[in-house]
Chains A and B, each alone.
Chain A
């Protein structure tokens, strides 16, 4: 049977997963639904809507993944289920 420690670990893990899934949804889809509006803003020559799809979201994904690896490791250590 699952111990209470494991259950708490899994609850936190699941919440972290859902948070990242939400951010993924935002940068993968939601922000690109506003391209026409965002394209009216120009930074360094880049229309913002174009920039988000070409670089911005990609950068967000990379940062998310490094962050996720750290956060999940912290959760694993907190509940003493991390590898040695």
Chain B
């Protein structure tokens, strides 16, 4: 049985190119088939179901075929994943529902300032490759806490690393499951709470039987679906509008049109200076400090997130780990450098075909989204031309054409509505939905596996029962995976507003908790165990403190910790009048701060937004590690020799796991 499996999988590894080429061809043929069905009059709803269930079925088949009973296959896919394919898997692991559906919308709303996220979510891979990833691969860990425990004296450091890992991964995975629920409910008309658990089934079937090995090969398949889905509508749109199928080149023209149109709208009274954020003008949403702080935290956070780092444990060699980081970023780049094109094309459409239009002659694509409450005109959901007319008539002195300040659009709509804006058949919309689902599922898979592996490998096997036989280890790993997944799905089904806002925090938490210990542990031999533990606790603690105080106890932040209001980037004035709010009994009693509290997430030190809280924690972590190391005995000769080993690609891994 075991030998059969091994020979079967090496056949698979030798034929990866052909397998995935056939898969891609099959997927395209499927899309064409559905396009033909649509022409034959099959209703949209059926097409939506076919899309979702066909792709889910394929992921499930891959997941089941990749089942394994070997520990190293379960935790690190046997360390046999070639650089290119690991790059694709990392791409899918990395790009979440938020990247796929939300990124273009953020760029639409924020213009230049939104690019902080594009930069932050790509540049971090440079740090992964030059500072951390290849060294962890040589070390031979199954999980990030494995490294912390080995380098920094055992289970106390392991426990801290597990806490950091769970903190930053759990909120993140909840948001992904929420994302699958939203997409499934929107395109299949399912009830949201049910859709969440359908998504959950899709996630579990990919990861439970085969662990990392199954997740890897489904993520490759999911990457192909998501990138085809993301690029198709916009390539067609670019060809239609500018005759060149490279939207990343042609949207320069759209930018020029937007700039001209912005001036025109201001002159003709269609927009007020307050409502209009010129698309290319920097620092209107974030102050320069916060703009660069967000970039920095996202980049360093990337190099600290366990579910990303563990992807590089699966390559056959250190050399391939480095190459794999480069492939990962190339595959991620394909999506991120297209997102601004989506934003520009949509913005031009909105500015020219909605703003300034007579209320009676609005293009109908808008009403589909208005019905879902995602587009509002004159303060009301834009469900139909009549509703729109009635809502605007109610506003005193309304000129009868839509002005910029009348129009509100949810960021998710930008990508989802592009096929309709371009006048493409429904099959393309279904394709986009399948892509968004692939993005959410693949990220959720990676995160769940990271959490469950830390709990089963680090907590159960390494700390509770080091003599557990293989069968029991894998059983525990699978049970924990299901438990964590159910907990995340349950949390998501309650629609927790805060959890979604906290996703941005995951990067700061990972950065403050992991980055100093990882970098110092590899690059400075003199880093001692007490220093690392003190540094992790101080850095992570400080980051959590800043997040919790600014979000939940801003009153205490102002009165006890010397925090003040963040500043408005455009005017330089404070965002809130702190003194006035603090004098209001209603807000003083609002502890912990509710979502309506005017101070929540609006106060801080140095005007730093709490999304970039890692910037407060990380330097403290580094400083504490350096100072404490000066006063504690140097690591043993053996440990220093191990660090030398980690730094050289040649030779066996430092940590040899029994399998």
Contacts and interface: CB of A to CB of B under 8 A. Distances in A.
Nearest to A46: B252
A14 B525 CA distance: 14
Interface SS, A side: helix
A6 B106 CA distance: 48
The winner among A2, A55, A57, A66 for most chain B CB atoms within 10 A is: A55
B337 interface: yes
B299 interface: yes
Interface residues of A, number: 50
A46 B640 CA distance: 51
B67 interface: no
Contact of A58 (B249, B295, B337, B647): B337
A62 B129 contact: no
A43 B647 CA distance: 44
A9 B647 CA distance: 9
A70 B112 CA distance: 34
Given A53-B119, A55-B337, A73 B322 contact: yes
Given A50-B112, A58-B118, A36 B282 contact: yes
B611 to A, nearest CB: 17
Contacts of B637: 1
Contacts of A65: 125-126, 129, 325-326, 329
B115 interface: yes
Contacts of B291: 32
A63 B134 CA distance: 18
A41 interface: no
Given A17-B130, A53-B115, A66-B326, A24 B648 contact: no
Given A28-B119, A53-B119, A82 B326 contact: no
Given A17-B131, A61-B125, A64-B126, A39 B280 contact: yes
A14 B249 CA distance: 37
A2 B644 contact: yes
B322 A61 contact: no
A6 B644 contact: yes
Interface of B: 112, 115, 118-119, 122-123, 125-127, 129-131, 134, 248-249, 251-256, 280, 282, 288, 291-292, 295-296, 299, 317-319, 322-323, 325-326, 329-330, 333, 336-337, 340, 523, 637, 640-641, 644, 647-650
Given A53-B112, A65-B326, A66-B326, 10 more contacts: A2-B640, A24-B123, A29-B292, A36-B282, A44-B252, A53-B115, A55-B337, A59-B333, A65-B325, A69-B129
